[in-house]
C-alpha cells in the first residue's frame, strides 16, 4: 500500500500516470539474480513486458541479457547498452531488414520459429559472409493452463516449429553453411503460476534435446523461455518465488556439463513495480449500477479490455474504513470494453478521488495507445 507521503505527492500531479517503485524493482531484480546464480543460470529480460528507459537501465545494470521479439527491441537493447552477446531475437515474423540489422549487431542468437526462417537467415548471413547462431524454437505441445490469448506452446499456436517438422529442420540445418546451431528454445505462455507446468516442460525439453543429440548436433543451450506469473490479487506479495522456480529446472532438467540453461523472464521482474494512478472524473449512481469514471482508460491500460485481466483497484483518498459501495470502474474511452472492473467494492467515492490500478508494471505502459487521440501516458518514479 502507498504511504501518506506518496498519496500526498500523487494529489499534486496531473493524472493519469504510471508510478514506478524503483526500490521494489531493484529488490526483485536482486532476488532473481541471486536465485539464478545458485545454478549458474542465464537470465534474459523479455523487453516486450516493459521498455521504460529507467527500468531497462536497472535491468541492464543487474547483468541480465535482453530477449527481443522485434527489430525495434533489438535496436533499443543495443542503445541501452546490453551486451550484444546476451541479446536473443525471437518472433514468428522477423523481416529481412530486422534480420540484417541483428546480424550487423552480432547478437548472441536468433530463436528461429520456422524452417523457412532458417533458410532466410542462412541466405542473408551468407550475403554478409558471416555465420548466424540459431536456436530452434520448438512447439512442445505443453498446456500452460493460462489465458488462451497468452498460451504459446500448443499445436494450435503460431509459435515455434512443430515436432513433426523437426526431421526437415535438421536437414536444413546440416545443409546451411551460414548457420551455427547452438541449442533449443521453448516458451509455452505467460502468467503461469503452477510449478507443475514447468516440470512438464522440462520433460519435453529433455526429449527434444536428446533428439538433436542423437542426430549428431551439439546442444550447447537449453533456453526454456519464461512465463513465471505474479499474484495480481495480492500486490503486496510483491516478489515471485524465484528460488522455487529455478529449483524446478535444476531438479527436472537434464543438463550436461557443457550446456547452459537460459531463461527469458519479463512479467515476473517488472509486474509489481508499477501502478496506474488515476483520478475520478465523475460518479454516476443508478438503480442497477454505480459507475466511477476515471481519467485513465484502456488507452493507458489495455489488459482488462484485451484479456479480461484482473488488476486490484485501490481507493487512495478519504476514509479507508467507510462502508463499501459496489462500482463498475470505467474509463473515458468511447468503447464499452473500456472497463477496469465490475461490482468493485470501494469506499464511497467522489469526483477528484485518487484511484490506483495495481500490478501494472508488465504490459501496461508498453501497450498504451493514442486511440481517441489521447495524449501519451507519462511516468513518475519513486526516487524523484
CA quadruple 241, 247, 248, 249: dihedral sign: positive
pLDDT for 157 equals: 57
**What domains sit in the chain, N to C, each tagged with a CATH number?**
4-17+273-381 (2.40.37.10), 22-270 (3.20.20.10)
pLDDT for 292 equals: 97
Angstrom CA distances, 3 to 7, 234, 316, stand at 6, 17, 10
The string of pLDDT tens digits covering residues 154-164 is: 445 556 899 89
pLDDT for 339 equals: 97
What is the DSSP secondary-structure string of 33-62?
Answer: HHHHHTTT-EEEEEGGG---HHHHHHHHHH
Instruction: Return the ∠ at Cα 257 (arms to 251 and 263), rounded to 5°.
Output: 55
CA quadruple 150, 155, 160, 163: dihedral sign: positive
Region of poorest pLDDT, from 29-43, 147-161, 285-299: 147-161
Q: Where are the alpha helices (DSSP H) in 81-188?
A: 96-104, 115-127, 166-175
Measured between its terminal Cα atoms, the distance across the chain in Å is 19
Q: How many CA atoms are closer than 13 Å to the CA of 219, on its beta-carbon side? A: 24
Whole-model pTM: value is 0.93
CA quadruple 47, 48, 53, 54: dihedral sign: negative
The string of pLDDT tens digits covering residues 169-193 is: 999 999 999 999 999 999 988 899 9
Q: What are phi and psi of 6, to 5 degrees?
A: -65, -45
Cα 156 from Cα 127, distance rounded (Å): 35
Q: How many CB atoms lie within 10 A of CB 126?
A: 15
By CB atoms closer than 10 A (0-12, 13-18, 19+), residue 334 is: exposed
Give kind and range of the element (H or E) at residue 108: none
The string of pLDDT tens digits covering residues 197-247 is: 999 999 999 999 999 999 999 999 999 999 999 999 999 888 999 999 999
- C-alpha 185: how far from its chain's center? 16
Q: Are 258 and 293 in contact (CB under 8 A)?
A: no
Q: Are 117 and 163 in contact (CB under 8 A)?
A: no
Cα 193 from Cα 29, distance rounded (Å): 19
How much of the chain exceeds pLDDT 70, in percent? 94
pLDDT confidence of 287, banded at 50, 70, 90? confident
Cα 141 from Cα 80, distance rounded (Å): 35
Cα 89 from Cα 69, distance rounded (Å): 6
The string of pLDDT tens digits covering residues 44-92 is: 999 999 999 999 999 999 999 999 999 999 999 999 999 999 999 999 9
- The residues facing 275 across adjacent strands are 19
How much of the chain exceeds pLDDT 90, in percent? 88
Q: Are 156 and 200 in contact (CB under 8 A)?
A: no
Cα 37 from Cα 109, distance rounded (Å): 21
Cα 201 from Cα 252, distance rounded (Å): 9
Amino acid at each position: 500500500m502507498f504511504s501518506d507521503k506518496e498519496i500526498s505527492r500523487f494529489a499534486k500531479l496531473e493524472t493519469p500516470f504510471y508510478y514506478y517503485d524503483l526500490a521494489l524493482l531493484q529488490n526483485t531484480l536482486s532476488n532473481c539474480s541471486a536465485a539464478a546464480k545458485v545454478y549458474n543460470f542465464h537470465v534474459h529480460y523479455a523487453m516486450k513486458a516493459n521498455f521504460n528507459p529507467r527500468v531497462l537501465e536497472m535491468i541492464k545494470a543487474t547483468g541480465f541479457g535482453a530477449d527481443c521479439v522485434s527489430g525495434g527491441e533489438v535496436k533499443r537493447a543495443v542503445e541501452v547498452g546490453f551486451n550484444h552477446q546476451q541479446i536473443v531475437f525471437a518472433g514468428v515474423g522477423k523481416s529481412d531488414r530486422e534480420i540484417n540489422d541483428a546480424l550487423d549487431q552480432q547478437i548472441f542468437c536468433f530463436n528461429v520459429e520456422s524452417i523457412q526462417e532458417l533458410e532466410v537467415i542462412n541466405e542473408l548471413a551468407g550475403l554478409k559472409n558471416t555465420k548466424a547462431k540459431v536456436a530452434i524454437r520448438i512447439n512442445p505441445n505443453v498446456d500452460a493452463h493460462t489465458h488462451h490469448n497468452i498460451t504459446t506452446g500448443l499445436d494450435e499456436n503460431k509459435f515455434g516449429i512443430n515436432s513433426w517438422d523437426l526431421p526437415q529442420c535438421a536437414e536444413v540445418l546440416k545443409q546451411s553453411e551460414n548457420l551455427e546451431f547452438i541449442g533449443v528454445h521453448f516458451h509455452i505462455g505467460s502468467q503461469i503460476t503452477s510449478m507443475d507446468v514447468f516440470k512438464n516442460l522440462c520433460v519435453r525439453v529433455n526429449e527434444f534435446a536428446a533428439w538433436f543429440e542423437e542426430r549428431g548436433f551439439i546442444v550447447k543451450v537449453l533456453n526454456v523461455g519464461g512465463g513465471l506469473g505474479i499474484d495480481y490479487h495480492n500486490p503486496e506479495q510483491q516478489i515471485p518465488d524465484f528460488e522455487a522456480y529455478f529449483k524446478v529446472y535444476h531438479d527436472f532438467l537434464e543438463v550436461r556439463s557443457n550446456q547452459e540453461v537460459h531463461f527469458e523472464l519479463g512479467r515476473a521482474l517488472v509486474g509489481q513495480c508499477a501502478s496506474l494512478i488515476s483520478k475520478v472524473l465523475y460518479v454516476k449512481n443508478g438503480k442497477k449500477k454505480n459507475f466511477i469514471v476515471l481519467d485513465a482508460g484502456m488507452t493507458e491500460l489495455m489488459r482488462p479490455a484485451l484479456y479480461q485481466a484482473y488488476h486490484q483497484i485501490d481507493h487512495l483518498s478519504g476514509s479507508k474504513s467507510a462502508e463499501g459501495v459496489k462500482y463498475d470502474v470505467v474509463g473515458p474511452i468511447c468503447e464499452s470494453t473500456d472497463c477496469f472492473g465490475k461490482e468493485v467494492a470501494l469506499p464511497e467515492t467522489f469526483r477528484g478521488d485518487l484511484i490506483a490500478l495495481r500490478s501494472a508494471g508488465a504490459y501496461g505502459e508498453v501497450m498504451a495507445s493514442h486511440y481517441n487521440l489521447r495524449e501519451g501516458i507519462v511516468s513518475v518514479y519513486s526516487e524523484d
